[in-house]
């Protein structure tokens, strides 16, 4: 890298110094806040789970940690995050190993303009074409490094623009290493824009966005075999001709989205439609098809009743700032395709989670929450809450473009699919019914039943068939008893019954809490129904937590069960492990 | 260049930390755009309660202890408001996957707080929130004077004790 005498960074750093030394008024309004989290694990060998020093790669200690610091003074703020993975804990990608500052920015506001330089997270609409976000527990971070501006030219109008490149582990950006993203978004709140609508009961917000990625594309080819027969005299011989073709990869891939939000009292509607241009990439097997997505939700609610329905249809919507990038953890995602299945809180209900299928899926979720009023016959003194939720995800219908070309053939348009079509491969089904009741001042309980269908091939192996479906019934009983105002005991019992996969499970948790500081827990998950009698494992854990205002220390010893950990439809595989885990979180 | 910039930032942070020690007031709320349940924009600097204390709770529809905390406060919230005039802002950090569930969820639960949606976590980052639930208490001048992470049954009693102390001019440190 060339050293310029007047680099912007140097100028910026220099400009702070006189401010700091001489301007007392600048310091008077200064504020610093921040937070830290450190997770450390010490692993042990465990013959029952087949864990030895060599399967651990002799990494007997893992630590993931970060510290955020935010400085503000009036309209100016600066932010930085130090991250360290020394070594990354089990289940996190080894490319994270290291320590550094993957996220920092400076930000100021002048009137209706807000500027950010450095790293930032931004979201357009529901994120169908652009969303920068991070999720620590997943090891997911696709922050954008560049410039971001937000400007409100008139009341009710917000325009956002950005240019930047995305994070890829610790690898610094170099020309050609990944694409450059540009985007613009507008949000128009009609009731504020037009005086006559100020007092209207119906509130309407319209929005639209455009995103484009430029990438210096590689020269890549593929080959296709064609069979032919040669007959000479009485001899017949079969031959295969291998022809090599070059992909015609676009340097620029654009996408756009339009959205609408409408609300009237307890009624609310949100709809967003997005399209993406021709974008052959590793996820879609390099086909030239355009992408399409629709996401909408309708809800109605009043006190004590909430009803909600959400639908989604996506077709070929993987959108990354590097076309050859694929695999896990997902990196360089420009957009975000939310899984619309429900996020579950109990461990067995989350054992078979759903992960978004960007190449095509239809999804639907409906929920009703009803609270039987307090002091009624059924509701009792405190009321009873009933929640019923159903969600499903299916394939979309894909048709071959011609009889000779199989669906998804690389270097072709891939397939045809009618908008909002529904395919016949079930990806996921989930029905749950939850009852919550507070019996008296000291005792409350929750009971939940789940019925799930999980397409293991699709969700774990990206094999699109229905030959490995897991059908599971799950029951949970969660009770809390308060001995005194500060002391309570929570008992949680769970059962999972299935004939597939690893068979039946049972679990129990006892948690004794002394508010506001102490928490003690013992838990065990037992795979008693495993067909392999050696694998009828107890995943036991003991844990102690201590909280002092904003600092929390938790120590846990035991076995971590392997499985998919998912947040927002993005999943991380967590392998089996045994050992001691220490978590420290703190804010200042 | 990057290194210099970082050094500059560090100097700024460190100097600010020292200069801050002189005053023992709380921190001002950051100004960040979030959304209301109707989908309109709302600047967090506008959070206020006519000179009375404010409680801000960060939560999500997928967070079990958060829901427990909200349920527990909801049972006593009417009394709290009558006795102290406190106001609770409940900030959901649900992302676009579940943010549209928030309104039917809170209504279905019958919760009666002031709700805000922090869909991409901007307010969460500005407030230094790691994981929900994270609760802040603001004094009558809108300064953050107390905060707490996590929820255990009975924690809500401590919240109202702090609010009462603030109103009666007691020391909360």
Helix (H, G, I), strand (E, B) or coil at A305: strand
Tally of domains within chain B = 1
A380 touches chain B (CB under 8 A): no
Distance of residue B85 Cα from the nearest chain A Cα, in angstroms = 22
Within the 486-505 window of chain A, which residues sit less than 8 Å (CB to CB) from chain B? Answer: 486-488, 490
Beta strands in A121-156 (DSSP E): 134-135, 140-141, 144-151
With contacts defined as CB-CB under 8 Å, which chain A residues touch B37?
A: 263, 268
Q: What is the DSSP string of B132-144?
A: S-EEEEE-TTSEE
With pLDDT > 90 as the criterion, what percentage of chain A qualifies?
A: 70
**CA gap B83, B77 in Å, rounded:** 10
pLDDT digits (tens, 9 = 90+) for B132-146: 899 999 998 888 999
Q: Nearest chain B residue to A305 by CA: give it.
A: B108
Q: Any long-range contacts for A531-539 (C-beta under 8 Å, 24+ apart)? A: A531/A503, A534/A48, A535/A502, A537/A48, A537/A49
Contact A161, A148 (CB under 8 A): yes
With contacts defined as CB-CB under 8 Å, which chain A residues touch B57?
A: none
With contacts defined as CB-CB under 8 Å, which chain A residues touch B9?
A: 13, 71, 78, 80, 104, 106
Distance of residue B32 Cα from the nearest chain A Cα, in angstroms = 11
With pLDDT > 70 as the criterion, what percentage of chain A qualifies?
A: 94
Distance of CA B54 to the CA centre of its chain: 8
Q: Could you report the predicted ipTM of this complex, rounded to two decimals?
A: 0.81
**CA gap A418, B125 in Å, rounded:** 41
With contacts defined as CB-CB under 8 Å, which chain B residues touch A70?
A: 30, 125-126, 128
Q: Nearest chain A residue to B23 by CA: give it.
A: A28
Domain region containing B135: 28-168
Q: Which two tokens stand for residue B135?
A: 């609760």
**CA gap A588, A69 in Å, rounded:** 9
Burial class of residue A430, CB neighbours in 10 A (0-12, 13-18, 19+): buried
Q: Which residue has the tokens 């013992």?
A: A522
Number of H helices and number of E strands within chain A? 4, 30
DSSP class of A457: H
**CA gap A336, B96 in Å, rounded:** 9
| Residue B36, domain CATH | 3.40.30.10
Contact A100, A82 (CB under 8 A): yes
Please compute the mean of the pLDDT values over residues A53-80 and round it to a whole number.
91
Confidence band (pLDDT; 50, 70, 90) for A588?
Answer: confident
With contacts defined as CB-CB under 8 Å, which chain A residues touch B13?
A: 32, 69, 71, 78, 80
Contact A503, A516 (CB under 8 A): no
pLDDT digits (tens, 9 = 90+) for A81-106: 999 999 999 989 999 999 999 999 99
Q: Nearest chain B residue to A547 by CA: give it.
A: B149
Is B149 close to A552, i.e. CB distance below 8 A?
A: yes
Distance between start and end Cα atoms, chain B: 42
Contact A576, A560 (CB under 8 A): yes
Distance of residue A278 Cα from the nearest chain B Cα, in angstroms = 26
**CA gap B105, A368 in Å, rounded:** 9
Out of A59-63, A573-577, B159-163, least confident range: A573-577
Nearest to B155 among A121, A482, A515 (CB): A515
Beta-strand relationship, B114-117 and B87-92: parallel
Identify whether B15 is part of a domain: no
**CA gap A544, B5 in Å, rounded:** 41
Identify whether B143 is part of a domain: yes
Q: What is the DSSP string of A534-588?
A: GG--EEEEEEEEEEETTEEEEEEEEEEPPEEEEETTEEEEE--EEEEEEEEEEE-
Identify whether B135 is part of a domain: yes
Is A123 close to B125, i.e. CB distance below 8 A?
A: no
Contact A331, B137 (CB under 8 A): no
| pLDDT of A137 strictly over 60 | yes
Burial class of residue A465, CB neighbours in 10 A (0-12, 13-18, 19+): exposed
Is A71 close to B127, i.e. CB distance below 8 A?
A: no
| pLDDT of A17 strictly over 70 | no
**CA gap B32, B30 in Å, rounded:** 6
Identify whether B20 is part of a domain: no
Within the 266-325 window of chain A, which residues sit less than 8 Å (CB to CB) from chain B? Answer: 266, 268, 270, 297, 299-308, 310
pLDDT at position A2: 41
The partner residues of B41 in beta bridges, in order of sequence, read B35
Identify whether B19 is part of a domain: no
Q: Phi first, then psi: what are they for A208, rounded to 5°?
A: -155, 150
With pLDDT > 90 as the criterion, what percentage of chain B qualifies?
A: 46
Q: If residue A109 lies in a helix (H) or strand (E), which one and from where to where? A: strand A98-110
Q: Which residue has the tokens 């690389």?
A: A410
Most confidently predicted of A131-135, A472-476, A485-489:
A472-476
Nearest to B147 among A369, A383, A550 (CB): A550
Burial class of residue B135, CB neighbours in 10 A (0-12, 13-18, 19+): buried
Q: Which of A81, A198, A343 to mutate to test the interface with B (most CBs of B within 10 A)?
A: A343
Beta strands in A277-425 (DSSP E): 291-302, 305-315, 360-372, 384-394
Identify whether B47 is part of a domain: yes
Q: Which residue has the tokens 């394939």?
A: A395
Beta-strand relationship, A360-372 and A305-315: antiparallel
Q: Which two tokens stand for residue A485?
A: 């105002």
Confidence band (pLDDT; 50, 70, 90) for A209?
Answer: very high
Identify whether B80 is part of a domain: yes
Distance of residue B88 Cα from the nearest chain A Cα, in angstroms = 18
Out of A101-105, A158-162, A191-195, A428-432, least confident range: A191-195
| Beta carbon pairs, A and B, within 8 Å | 251
Please compute the mean of the pLDDT values over residues B109-123 and round it to a whole number.
92
pLDDT digits (tens, 9 = 90+) for A263-278: 998 899 999 999 999 9
Contact A169, A100 (CB under 8 A): no
Mean pLDDT of chain A: 90
A120-157 in b/e form (b: 16+ CB < 10 A) is bbbbbbbbbbbbbbbbbebbbbbbbbbebebebeeebe
**Taking every pair of C-alpha atoms in chain A, what is the biggest distance, in angstroms?**
101
Q: Which has the closest alpha carbon to B64: B148, B122, B150, B155?
A: B150
Higher pLDDT, A12 or A489: A489
Phi-psi label, residue B154: left if phi above 0, alpha if psi -120 to 50, beta otherwise:
left
Distance between start and end Cα atoms, chain A: 37
Within the 506-545 window of chain A, which residues sit less than 8 Å (CB to CB) from chain B? Answer: 513-516, 519, 545
Contact A146, A164 (CB under 8 A): yes
Confidence band (pLDDT; 50, 70, 90) for A254?
Answer: very high
Q: Which residue has the tokens 């959070």?
A: B47
**How many Cβ atoms from other residues are within 10 Å of residue A206's Cβ?**
15
**CA gap A268, A527 in Å, rounded:** 44
Is B17 close to A340, i.e. CB distance below 8 A?
A: no
Helix (H, G, I), strand (E, B) or coil at B16: helix
**CA gap A376, A383 in Å, rounded:** 7
The partner residues of A555 in beta bridges, in order of sequence, read A544, A582
DSSP class of A464: -
Is B106 close to A514, i.e. CB distance below 8 A?
A: no
Contact B123, B85 (CB under 8 A): no
Identify whether B14 is part of a domain: no
Please compute the mean of the pLDDT values over residues A544-569 and round it to a whole number.
85
Contact A238, B73 (CB under 8 A): no
Nearest to A12 among B5, B20, B128 (CB): B5
Total residues belonging to chain B:
173
pLDDT at position B24: 36
With contacts defined as CB-CB under 8 Å, which chain A residues touch B129?
A: 35, 587
Q: Which two tokens stand for residue A29?
A: 């309004």
pLDDT digits (tens, 9 = 90+) for A336-355: 998 888 888 899 999 999 98
Burial class of residue B24, CB neighbours in 10 A (0-12, 13-18, 19+): exposed
pLDDT digits (tens, 9 = 90+) for B34-85: 999 888 889 998 898 999 999 999 999 988 899 999 999 998 999 999 999 9
């Amino acid at each position: 890298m060339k050293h310029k005498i007047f680099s912007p960074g140097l100028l910026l750093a220099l400009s702070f110094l006189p401010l700091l030394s001489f301007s007392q008024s600048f310091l008077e309004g200064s504020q610093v806040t921040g937070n830290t989290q450190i997770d450390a694990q010490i692993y042990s060998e465990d013959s029952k789970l087949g864990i030895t020093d060599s399967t651990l790669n002799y990494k007997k200690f893992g630590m993931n940690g970060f510290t955020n610091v935010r400085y503000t003074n009036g309209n100016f703020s600066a932010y930085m995050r130090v991250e360290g993975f020394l070594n990354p804990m089990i289940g996190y990608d080894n490319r994270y190993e290291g320590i550094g500052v993957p996220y920092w920015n400076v930000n100021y506001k002048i009137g209706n303009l807000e500027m950010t330089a450095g790293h930032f997270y931004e979201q357009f609409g529901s994120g169908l074409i652009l969303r920068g976000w991070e999720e620590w527990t997943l090891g997911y971070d696709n922050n954008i490094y560049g410039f971001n501006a937000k400007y409100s030219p008139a009341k009710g109008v917000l325009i956002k623009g950005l240019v930047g490149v995305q994070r890829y582990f610790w690898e610094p950006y170099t020309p050609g290493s990944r694409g450059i993203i540009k985007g613009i978004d507008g949000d128009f709140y009609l009731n504020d824009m037009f005086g006559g609508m100020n007092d209207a009961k119906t509130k309407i917000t319209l929005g639209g966005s455009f995103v484009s990625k430029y990438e210096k594309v590689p020269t890549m080819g593929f080959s296709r075999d064609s069979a032919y027969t040669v007959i000479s005299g009485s001899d017949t011989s079969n031959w295969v001709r291998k022809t090599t073709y070059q992909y015609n990869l676009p340097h620029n891939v654009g996408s756009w989205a339009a959205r609408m939000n409408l609300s009237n009292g307890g009624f609310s509607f949100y709809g967003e439609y997005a399209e993406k241009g021709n974008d052959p990439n590793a996820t879609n097997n390099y086909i030239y098809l355009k992408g399409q997505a629709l996401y909408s939700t309708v809800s109605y609610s009043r006190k004590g009743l909430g009803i909600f329905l959400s639908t989604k249809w996506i077709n070929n919507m993987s959108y990354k700032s590097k076309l050859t990038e694929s695999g896990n953890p997902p990196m360089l995602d420009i957009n975000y395709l939310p899984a619309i299945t429900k996020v579950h809180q109990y461990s067995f209900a989350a054992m078979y989670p759903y992960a978004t299928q960007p190449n095509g899926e239809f999804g639907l979720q409906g929920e009703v929450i009803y609270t039987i009023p307090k002091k009624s016959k059924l509701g009792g003194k405190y009321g009873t809450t009933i929640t019923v939720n159903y969600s499903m995800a299916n394939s979309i219908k894909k048709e071959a473009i011609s009889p000779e070309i199989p669906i998804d053939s690389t270097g072709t348009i891939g397939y045809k699919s009618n908008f909002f079509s529904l395919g016949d491969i079930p990806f996921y089904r989930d029905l749950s019914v939850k009852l919550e009741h507070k019996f008296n001042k000291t005792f409350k309980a929750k009971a939940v039943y789940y019925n799930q269908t999980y397409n293991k091939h699709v969700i774990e192996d990206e094999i699109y068939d229905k030959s490995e479906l897991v059908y599971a019934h799950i029951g949970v009983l969660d009770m809390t008893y308060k001995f005194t105002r500060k002391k309570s005991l929570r008992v949680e019992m769970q059962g999972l019954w299935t004939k597939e996969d690893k068979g039946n499970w049972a679990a129990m948790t006892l948690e004794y809490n002394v508010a506001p500081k102490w928490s003690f827990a013992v838990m065990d998950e037992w795979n008693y129904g495993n067909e392999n009698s050696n694998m009828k494992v107890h995943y036991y854990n003991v844990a102690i937590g201590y909280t002092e205002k904003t600092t929390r220390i938790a120590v846990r010893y035991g076995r971590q069960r392997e499985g998919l950990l998912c947040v927002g439809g993005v999943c991380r595989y967590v392998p089996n492990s045994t050992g001691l885990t220490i978590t420290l979180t703190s804010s200042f | 260049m990057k290194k210099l910039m970082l050094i500059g930032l560090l100097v700024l942070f460190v100097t600010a930390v020292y200069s801050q020690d002189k005053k023992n007031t709380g921190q001002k709320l950051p100004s960040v755009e979030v959304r209301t349940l109707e989908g309109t924009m709302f600047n967090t600097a506008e959070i206020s309660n006519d000179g009375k204390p404010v409680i801000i709770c960060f939560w999500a529809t997928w967070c079990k202890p958060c829901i427990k905390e909200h349920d527990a406060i909801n049972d006593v919230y009417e009394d709290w408001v009558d006795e102290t005039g406190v106001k609770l802002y409940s900030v959901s950090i649900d992302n676009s996957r579940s943010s549209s569930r928030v309104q039917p969820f809170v209504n279905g639960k019958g919760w009666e707080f002031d709700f805000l949606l922090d869909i991409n976590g901007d307010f969460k980052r500005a407030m230094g929130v790691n994981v929900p639930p994270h609760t802040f208490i603001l004094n009558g001048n809108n300064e953050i004077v107390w905060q707490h992470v996590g929820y255990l049954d009975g924690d809500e009693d401590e919240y109202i004790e702090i609010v009462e102390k603030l109103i009666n001019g007691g020391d909360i440190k």
